[in-house]
Amino acid sequence: MAWLPLCAQNEFSESEAGSKILALENAWAQAAQIKDVKAMDTLLDDAFLNVAPDGRLMTKADVLADVKSASVQQFVNEAMTAKLHGNTAIVTGIFRMKGIKDGKPYLQRGRFVDVWIYKNGSWVAISSQATPIAH
């Protein structure tokens, strides 16, 4: 694909893009909660890399497999902010996830940074990292 330089005229305004990306973040959380692998597949770039809260490095395939097998009851985002850098957006925020693992309930809260790029007319996530924080 042809990469546009940062100064290139974008097809979107900053505020529109920011709102769109935050909506995509919520769609991502929803997809994780309801195990919608198809929806998640469209949100993540094929080269997507994820650093899980325990430090594991995961590819897109690993993340999709994880979504299928996990038992997430609630996944919500809080305090999200999107910053645009040309055709790239950096989202910082806090996630809160509740679920059951190995028969035991868990609650996890983490601070994340997601990186999105505008590629072929849509926004896709290329990276995500989460760091645990106190509940």
117 touches another protein by CB under 8 A: yes
Strands 44-51, 104-119: pairing is: unpaired
d(CA 49, CA 43): 13
Interface with another protein, residue 130, by CB under 8 A: yes
The single residue among 71, 76, 86, 107 that binds another protein, judged by CB under 8 A, is 86
Indicate the DSSP class of residue 36: -
Q: Give me the least distance between CB of 81 and another protein, in Å please.
A: 8
The yes or no reply on residue 51 touching another protein (CB under 8 A) is yes
Residue numbers of the site for another protein (CB under 8 A)?
2-6, 47, 49, 51-55, 57, 83, 85-88, 90, 92, 110-111, 113, 115, 117, 126-127, 129-134
